[in-house]
Structure 1
Amino acid sequence: NYSRLESVEEKRNTRKAVVFVLLSLIIVVFLATNGLSLITKVINFASSFKKGPQTLDLLDKTPPSPPFLQSIPDAINISPFEITGRVEPGNTVVISFNGIEEEIQTDENGNFSTKFELIKGENTFFAYTKNPAGNRSQQTKKYVLVFDNESPEIKITEPSDGKSYYGVKQKNITIRGTTEIDSSITINDRIATVNGDGGFSLNYSLSNGENNLKIKAVDKAGNEKEINLKLFFSE
């Protein structure tokens, strides 16, 4: 009886050993075929989980570049005024116009365009870029745009309208007057000299008979005014 029990126990242990060996072989084969890839994925996941917040934090501290604005004039005579430009794709633009900020979305290439109503006189604005993380770029320079839709004044101080000149010695005259500062003056399409106070002058040679002079002023904003001066000359 003891021998029989011993034999049964030996067979049972043998079966356990066979099962253990088979399971070990299965595990070894699995690890050889799939296990390495799985372990690599687990390691990579753990590594990215550990490093990810540090990388994001680094990016969060990087400000975007300031926006590029298309050419801005010093003065203009129409309203509203359109501002166009571009930034790095994916960012937005913030424009502070006369103290009020407006956030502007860009297209897929980073281009943007928006219009602002102007007030008479000086309008001030600047812009900056904001990225998805909320970081701001440096501001652009502060622009000053003058809105002026009134024609410049022209006053002729010499000679008076309708004046007559006689003889060769009076053939060459000087036309003088005043206009708005920073305006340009033409007399019969000839450019007059304008000083810093708006005073202008032009030497002019009269023709025999009636001389009709067209005097035109154009200010910084593009407004125009034209007056006529009639002079007479006889040799």
Structure 2
Amino acid sequence: MLKNKMKKFTRRFINSEERKNTRSATFYILLTIAAIAILYFIGIPALGRLASLVSSLRGNNNKISNSDFTPPPPPKFKYFPEFTNQQTLTLTGNTESGASVKLTFNGSPQEVLADNDGQFSFGVTLQDGINTFAATATDQSGNQSQKSDDHQITFDKKTPDLEITSPSDGSSYFGSNQRQITITGKTETDAKVTINDRIISVDDSGIFQYTTTLNEGSNTFNVKSTDQAGNTTEKNISLNFTS
């Protein structure tokens, strides 16, 4: 009797599993038919566009995650004169490659693009006296650098004052006691003075002195004063010596 009960239970279990498997198979068959219908009515191109949209969204997410928020370094200018007698100059420098460099010169802005090496240049026209300028750089992501150092260039066309206070041009000297003389003069403060191409020191008041020994006969001295902008004033004196 127990064996009969076990046989009945086994048959019920097998029938139940068969029904489950039949339902699963039916579900997957219907799902396959639905997928084929979607492909038929919507079309493969539409699915391609959908895949392209998904890929585009992924690309946009990558762009957002890879955005550049680091500003470029401030523009750095190469050598330029602090004083000059040239009214037009070219200012050059470097920053991040491809950045837009904005120069503010005497309050007026102008912009150029740095090249692939980060080099840039500006042509400027100086006004009399002190000219001020600084620059910033903006990279291709829109990040702006800090302002560069403030710089100055002084434009000066005036020649320096030069006075030879002693001796007078055409003076004559006699004998060994007068053979050694001192040329004294005054010029612009910070000017460079040369006498016959010898550099002579100038004090804070612009006074200079040069002691020399005269040769027999006529002695000519070329006195030249050059200011920081490169302007020059020259004077010549002739002194006679007879032993």
Q: TM-score range with shorter-chain normalisation?
A: 0.7 to 0.9
Within 1, Cα distance between the matches of 2:145 and 2:74?
5
Deviation at 1:17, TM superposition (A): 4.4
Partner of 1:176: 184
Q: Which residue of 2 aligns with 1:165?
A: 173
Q: Distance in 1 between matches of 2:229 and 2:223?
A: 18
Consecutive unaligned residues of structure 2, counting only runs of 5 or more, are 1-21, 37-50
Could you say which residue in structure 1 is the equivalent of 2:136? Answer: 128
Alpha-carbon shift at residue 49 of structure 1 (Å) = 4.9
Instruction: State the SS of the aligned residue for 1:20.
Output: helix
* Counterpart for residue 107 of structure 1: 115
SS in 1 for 2:29: helix
Count how many residue pairs are aligned between Structure 1 and Structure 2.
Answer: 205
Counterpart of 2:32 in structure 1: which amino acid? Answer: L
Shift of 1:212: 0.8
Q: Which residues of 2 match residues 19-98 of structure 1 at below 5 A?
A: 20=29, 23=32, 49=60, 52-53=63-64, 55-56=66-67, 59-60=68-69, 62-98=70-106
Report the TM-score when normalising by structure 1.
0.76
CA distance in 2, matches of 1:157, 1:209: 22
Quote the Cα distance in structure 1 between the aligned partners of 2:30 and 2:141.
56
Instruction: Give the Cα separation in 2 of the matches to 1:125 and 1:88.
Output: 20
Asked whether the 8 Å contact 2:98–2:113 carries over to 1, the reply is: no
Q: Which amino acid aligns with 1:129?
A: A
**Over aligned residue pairs, what C-alpha RMSD do you find?**
3.0
Equivalent residue number for residue 46 of structure 2: none
- Contact 2:83–2:155 (Cα < 8 Å) also in 1: yes
Query: In the alignment, which residue of structure 2 is the partner of 1:37?
Result: none
Q: 1:210 aligns with which of 197, 206, 218?
A: 218
Q: Does the alignment pair 1:137 with 2:145?
A: yes
Whole-Å separation in 1 of the counterparts to 2:190 and 2:139? 41
1:195 aligned onto 2:191: no
Q: Alpha-carbon deviation of 1:166?
A: 1.5
CA distance in 1, matches of 2:233, 2:28: 107
Greater gyration radius: 2
> 2: CA distance between counterparts of 1:223 and 1:156?
18
Match of 2:236 among 218, 222, 228: 228
SS in 1 for 2:109: strand
Alignment TM-score, normalising by the size of structure 2: 0.74
Q: Residues of 2 paired with 1:105 and 1:52: CA distance?
A: 24
Counterpart Cα distance in 2 of 1:17 and 1:223: 103
Query: Equivalent residue of 1:169, what SS?
Result: helix
Paired residue for 2:17?
none
Per-residue deviation, 1:234: 1.4
1:219 equivalent among 208, 224, 227: 227
Equivalents in 2 of 1:172, 1:186: separation in Å?
19
1:150 is displaced (CA, Å) by: 2.2
**Identity between Structure 1 and Structure 2 (%):** 35
